[in-house]
Amino acid sequence: MGFFDRLKDGLSKTRKGFTEKIEQLITGYATIDEEFLEELEAVLLMADVGVHTTMQLIEDIRGAIKAKKINSPEELRPFLAVRIGKILNEGMVPLARATEGPTVIVVVGVNGVGKTTTIGKLGHYYHDQGNKVLLAAGDTFRAAAIDQLEIWGQRIDVDVICQSEGSDPAAVAYDAVQAAKARKADILIIDTAGRIHTKSNLMEELKKIHRVISREIPEAPHEVLLVLDATTGQNAISQAKLFKEAVNVTGVVLTKLDGTAKGGVVVAIKADLGLPVKWIGVGEGADDLRPFDPAEFAEALFSKN
């Protein structure tokens, strides 16, 4: 099964709670009136599209009806598919790569969102593309995180730079950057701690890691990716706000899309926070994490079969 089919399959729960409810609305109304729009608004909010985006979409529909671009409920689905695709595509930039030397990717996020697994899958993706990849176990707060990353390294045939539990994460980052330069690595992916309950300490730690990396490679880190668990819905938005305030997050990795009916959170993250979703995960397999394609996502979301 290709990734688009896995994406469609992975979005089945979201489709049940979102697209299928829109279909029910469409078949239940002969015209788009205020009652129809109120029910549509409720469907969008329940799918965690977010208040701001929901209001925007409802206004867009009103405008399209006025302009005679939508003349019946049946024309609503393709209109929404295109509009949501455009919202997701605004400000999208390609995944950053260094002009020379290693591309440094720092991965942040709270514990439990699948951060370390995501790093393993990112490493697998880049390794499969023919890149020389290094991983760095910068979450030194949890011994399990170091062990887990080393297991991933063995699994995908990629070296892991690590120190013992409790080491200074910035020192791990420094060692990793030096190793990446010495070994002529193409991609360096650095894990970080995710203990959100010590917010100020965590954020200071992340800033220190950033300073150490940029001192060695001035334009690095090239990407700071925030891993969010799609199953947490609006809670993912709160986490994104917190990290966005503290570090220069360049994009989001949204995991576990296949386990949620709240796939609309992809739209809310982009529209409410201005953060592009750059990667999505729709399964447990190493190949189930892929760069995010807005048009493909919208097509899969509104697909009828």
- As a whole number of angstroms, the distance between CA 76 and CA 269 comes to 23
Residues 38 and 67 both lie in one domain: yes
Residues 57 and 147 both lie in one domain: no
- With tokens 């595509």, the residue in question is 89
Give me the number of domains the chain comprises: 2
Domain that holds residue 158: 103-293
Residues 255 and 189 both lie in one domain: yes
**Section 136-153 average pLDDT:** 92
Residues 62 and 151 both lie in one domain: no
- As a whole number of angstroms, the distance between CA 182 and CA 253 comes to 29
Residues 131 and 75 both lie in one domain: no
Residues 78 and 112 both lie in one domain: no
More confident of the two residues 85 and 131: 131
DSSP symbols for 213-246: HHHHSTT--SEEEEEEEGGGTHHHHHHHHHHHHH
Residues 142 and 288 both lie in one domain: yes
CA dihedral angle for residue 93, residue 99, residue 101, residue 104, rounded to 10 degrees: -20
Q: Residue 166 maps to which CATH number?
A: 3.40.50.300
State percent of the chain over pLDDT 90. 39
- What single-letter DSSP state applies at residue 128? H
Residues 69 and 113 both lie in one domain: no
pLDDT tens-digit map of 256-281: 887 766 777 788 888 778 888 899 88
Residues 260 and 118 both lie in one domain: yes
pLDDT tens-digit map of 92-122: 888 899 988 999 999 998 887 889 999 999 9
Whole-number average pLDDT of the chain: 87
Residues 194 and 256 both lie in one domain: yes
pLDDT tens-digit map of 33-47: 899 899 999 988 887
